[in-house]
Homo-oligomer: A and B are copies of this chain.
Amino acid sequence: MPDLLTKLPFQGTVECLLLNPDRKSGLEKQMVQESRLLFSGIEGDCHGGLTRKSDSRMLKQFKRGTLVRNARQLSILSTEELAEVANAMGILHVKPDWVGANLVTRGIPDLTLLPPSTRLQFPSGAMIVVDIENLPCRYPADIIEKHHPEQTAGFVKAAKHKRGVVGWVEAEGTIRKGDAITIWVPPLRPYPHA
């Protein structure tokens, strides 16, 4: 049988992992050495769950608060794109905990442009499926502004197509700081009627 997924010729690395046990504390998260991925998301993270209530991102598809499958179990960003965003904002860095990251990668260029249904594979066997690009919104913008009132450009504009992707757990397992990340991409082709 032909292969549907193609392995990219390079790997990424887990630069850091973050956990947010409590949604009330906002997007800011704590660094951890490892995270246990369950079908319901990261163990102990407040964005976990097999389902969630639809939010403002989905108002064209769902009435707010509709119960939907949780395809946003993890927020994944890259070291390289975070540095580009900081540069565009005229500040030294954008810390991953300011933007609600669960996983920060190194070595995956243009992480945000990874196509939907890309698979990220870890040495334990854990697998994450990319649902879609994440969009910059006001919440991290407010946090960054609190830390860096001197910024020369806003986060929402600076982070366009550099805010990472969201995804869900396809296979359970533990992921650790320093882990290699193997990347499997689906067929890439235009849809001729869009």
Contacts and interface: CB of A to CB of B under 8 A. Distances in A.
Nearest to A119: B61
A152 interface: no
A4 B57 contact: yes
Q: Interface majority SS on A: helix, strand, loop or mixed?
A: loop
Interface residues of A, number: 56
B4 A66 contact: no
A129 B137 CA distance: 24
Interface string A169-194: 11110000000000011111111111
A90 interface: no
Given A68-B170, A69-B169, A115-B116, A61 B194 contact: no
Contacts of A60: 3, 5, 7, 184
Interface of A: 1-8, 10, 39, 50-51, 54, 56-57, 60-62, 66-69, 71, 109-110, 113-117, 119, 121, 125, 127, 129, 131-133, 135, 137, 168-172, 184-194
- The 10 A-B pairs at the shortest CB distance, nearest first, are namely A116-B117, A116-B116, A69-B170, A68-B171, A116-B186, A109-B193, A113-B191, A185-B194, A132-B186, A68-B170
